[in-house]
Structure 1
Amino acid sequence: MLVVGLTGNIGSGKSSVARFLKEMGARVIDTDQVARDVVAPGTPALNQIIKHFGTGILNADGTLDRPKMARIVFNDPEALKRLNSIVHPAIRAEILKDIADYKTKRDAPLLVIEAPLLIETGMNNIVDQVWLVTVDAKTQIQRVMKRDNATAEQVTRRLAAQMPQEDKLPYAHRVIDNSGTPGETLQQLQQIWSDTIDRPQAQAE
């Protein structure tokens, strides 16, 4: 039983790696989905957001207008800080519940928490290992341009706003280079799975 925080910058292919790990038998939690769940109508987090930012950030059905919220905080560091101070603790609390549930049920050899901001939010402190998905700069920019229909300049600006990939390396117990083909990435994951999951269990038996 192992709790792994899976992270990487935009365009690194974290979601593809998470999907491979799920197919291999891991239980996977997507913190992007958790982030949506904790601001659902009626949640304490959404009520706090409304209190701070007003009802103008809601859609007609009472859900959070995420694109509008993003526009508000994009050029306002104080607003972003305020939003993060509401949302990040709520996400962390849910993840801690999921970890506790996993440790009780023991229904998979590996729990993977897919979190783009794992290190930035300090969630690396609540997992056993950090697995970092890396990618070369050229491939990264091309992937995000294609995925988001964005220009190279827009992608470069988004990358500049993130914690650099090389700054995350010291935190990583495992590094998965996802610059190549899906087959090459899968091969790395199979080796990591063998080293991390299969061998320790074999020794324990």
Structure 2
Amino acid sequence: MLVVGLTGNIGSGKSSVARMLQEMGATVIDTDRVARDVVAPGTPGLQKTVACFGRQVLKNDGTLNRPLMAQIVFNDPAALARLNAIVHPEIRSRVAAAIADYKRSGSTPLLVIEAPLLIETGMHKMVDRVWLVTVDPRIQVQRIIARNHTTAEQARKRISAQMPQEDKIPYADRIIDNSGSPEKTLQQVRQIWSDDIERPEAQA
């Protein structure tokens, strides 16, 4: 049994790598999905968010207006810090519970915590190993433009808002370069699976 934190910056293809690992037999927890769950209607997370930012952040159906929330915090570091102070402890709590459940059940050979902010939030301390998905910066910009239908300038602004990729490398036990074809990435993932999951000493 192994718990891995899988991280990578926007446009790195981290989610594609997570899908590959899932197809190979891993259990994957997507913290972006957990982040949505912790602010679902009726949760303490949503109640705290409304108390902090006002009812304007709610849609008519009582769910969080995520695009509006993103707009509020994107250019306001203080607002982002307030939101993170609400959401991140809730996410950590759910991830910790999932890791504890996995270690009790051991239903699959690998648990992957897919988290873009794994290192920034300190969640890398909760996992056994950190796997970092990297990408060539030029390809990263192209992917963001294609995926988000945005301009190169907006893509670079999103990249610059994150912890630099090179600053994450020292935290990584494994690096997966996703600058090439999906086949090349899959080849790397299979090799890491063989080295870290299939070897008996990896299970110790």
Counterpart residue number, 2:151: 151
User: Residue type matched to 2:45 in 1?
Assistant: A
Q: Contact 2:132/2:174 (CA < 8 Å) preserved in 1?
A: yes
Calculate the TM-score normalised by the size of structure 2: 0.97
Query: Following TM superposition, by how much is the alpha carbon of 1:202 offset from its aligned partner in structure 2, in angstroms?
Result: 8.7
Q: 1:69 to 1:203 in 2, by over 3 A?
A: closer
Distance 2:7 2:159 in 1: 15
Secondary structure of 1:113's partner? Answer: strand
- Aligned mates of 1:195, 1:152 — CA distance in 2: 38
Deviation at 1:105, TM superposition (A): 1.2
Aligned residue for 1:6?
6
Superposition TM-score, scaled by structure 1 size: 0.97
Alignment of 1:15-164 (within 5 A): 15-164=15-164
Distance 1:50 1:202 in 2: 45
AA of the residue aligned to 2:96:
L
Structure 1, residues 60-80: CA drift from partner, whole Å, max 9, x if none?
A: 110000111111112221111
**Structure 1 counterpart of 2:17, which letter?**
V
CA distance in 2, matches of 1:110, 1:203: 10
CA deviation map 1:4-34 (0-9, x unaligned): 0000001100010000000000000000000
Aligned residues: 204
Q: 1:201 to 1:25 in 2, by over 3 A?
A: farther
User: 2:56 and 2:24 mapped to 1: Cα distance?
Assistant: 44
SS at match of 1:112: strand
SS of structure 2 residue aligned to 1:10: coil
Q: Deviations over 1:95-115 (max 9, x none)?
A: 001001111111100000100
Tell me the amino acid that sits aligned with residue 6 of structure 2: L
The runs of 5 or more residues in structure 1 that have no matched partner are none
| Residues in 1 aligned to 2:75 and 2:123: alpha-carbon distance in whole angstroms | 25
RMSD: 1.2
Shift in Å, 1:149: 0.6
User: Could you give the per-residue CA deviations for residues 133-152 of structure 1, whole angstroms, max 9, x where no partner exists?
Assistant: 00001111111100011111
Q: Structure 2, unaligned stretches of length 5 or more? A: none
The residue matched to 1:61 in structure 2 has which SS? coil
Question: What is the alpha-carbon distance in structure 2 between the residues aligned to residue 21 and residue 157 of structure 1?
Answer: 30
